[in-house]
Structure 1
Amino acid sequence: MTTEERILNRSSELFAQFGINVVRTDDISTDLGISKKTFYKYFVSKEQLVVRVMEDMLERSSSEMDQLVNSSENPIEQTCALWDLITAFRKKHNPNFIRDMQRSYARAWELVENFRAGLVKDVLIQTLKNGIGKNFYRQDLNKEVVATLWLDLSSQENQIPGSDEEIKNLFIRGLLTAEGFRSYACLCNHNS
């Protein structure tokens, strides 16, 4: 692993754990056992580092989503897996991670916003279309509204412990036709 990759990986871990603003470039350099001069050889600013961390993170997320969508023909399984992936990202990252990016790192936040918009249009809407096409999801769904709600609900930090699974279940059940409900019930029983 190159020094640049080490900096990116460790920065990503520290930002996820503590948030971006509290982690200084000195902290990263010290943690990796490199000099500040070495750090700045690869990244001229903390903002550049944050942007690169986000580019890498979003690229990995995109690959994971593609894998999930391609690993199952069942749109309900895809919906569950995508929901769980988005929720896992939120749980893995300190809430300050996103807040710090929104407030202090406009270029990185723009990447996130563009990713979210593309995710809604490309992945979530396509999953809904597949579900409608297989008569698992209701024909009357406004796909763009539902996809936006899906992303917002699965990204939202919940105050009640254990509520993520309940919210996911309620959301998915609201999409289902009678045939979809039977498939979902079988899927839930199989996973129990």
Structure 2
Amino acid sequence: MKERIITEAGHLFNQLGVRTVRLEDVANQLGISKKTLYQHFVDKEALVRQVLETQLDENLREANAIHAQTANPIVSALLIWDRLIRYRQTTNPNMLRDIERHYPTVWRMFQTFRATYINIILVTNFREGIEQGLYRNDLDETALAWLWAEESQLEVPFEGAETAFKHHFVRGLLTQKGLALYESLAVKQTGTTN
């Protein structure tokens, strides 16, 4: 039951934002009583925290899976970027704004997760790319990891801009060796170079 509550609350929060959704709305949507909901969550903040934790844990699992399954840092970077774009596209910005404004402890948890993601997943990608000679060795890994996280979450002015940003960013990391590999990957995927 707890997982069903988390899933349904996540859908409602994404649709309507956190502030407008009441615990009563979640219970009604599931066809359960508020008492049943309170057996699993002490208050709305506890539910908001659990919904966000579940989403973030899923994103971290997916990024770790990409990293584990892909030995090539360039391919990994492109896939991770796509995952970050998908998160932005599937998460209502009102949900995060509401959390920031009304649930400061949950927002701090989100910021801590974000910093961990950046410092582990993204910085690791840079270090592996540098070690393999695919990325320039003069990169400021931490600064670029934060920029990567920010750029991948930008609202874009038109469809397809995310892809242009992604490729522009990744190409800026590459050595000549990395660029040759990147271009061979692009040829394999599209039949043409980018």
TM-score range, shorter chain: over 0.9
Quick one: which amino acid aligns to residue 66 of structure 1? N
2-side partners of 1:99 and 1:160: how far apart? 23
Residues 120-177 of structure 1 deviation map (CA, whole Å, 9 limit, x = unaligned) = 1111111001101111111111111111100110122223222100000110111011
* Contact in 2 for aligned 1:21/1:100 (Cα 8 Å): yes
RCO higher in structure (CA 8 A, sep ≥6): 1
Q: Distance in 1 between matches of 2:161 and 2:76?
A: 20
Moved over 2 A (4+): none
- Kept after mapping to 2: 8 A contact 1:141/1:175: yes
- In the TM superposition, residue 39 of structure 1 has moved relative to its aligned partner by 1.2
Distance in 2, matches of 1:170 and 1:42, equals 46
Kindly indicate whether the alpha-carbon contact (under 8 Å) linking 1:4 and 1:42 is maintained by their aligned counterparts in 2.
Answer: yes
Q: Report if the CA contact (8 A) 1:54-1:111 is conserved.
A: no
Aligned pair count reads: 190
Tell me which residue corresponds to 2:157. 159
| RMSD between aligned residues | 1.1
Q: 1-side partners of 2:49 and 2:111: how far apart?
A: 13
**Corresponding residue for residue 81 of structure 1:** 79
Q: TM-score, normalised by structure 1?
A: 0.95
Match of 1:24 in 2: 22
- Work out the CA distance in 2 between the residues paired with 1:56 and 1:8: 8
Counterpart-to-counterpart distance in 2, 1:70 and 1:17: 33
Residues of 2 paired with 1:57 and 1:9: CA distance? 10
User: Shift of the alpha carbon at 1:112?
Assistant: 1.1
Unmatched segments (≥5 aa) in structure 1: none
1:183 and 2:181 correspond: yes
Which of 93, 97, 100 is the matching residue for 1:99?
97
Distance across 2 between alignment mates of 1:186 and 1:21: 48
State the distance in 1 between where 2:20 and 2:187 align: 44
Gaps of 5+ in 2: none
Q: State whether residues 8 and 52 of structure 1, in contact with CA within 8 Å, keep that contact through their aligned partners in structure 2.
A: yes
Question: How high is the TM-score relative to the length of structure 2?
Answer: 0.94
Say whether residues 1:121 and 2:119 are aligned partners: yes
1:172 aligns with 2:170: yes
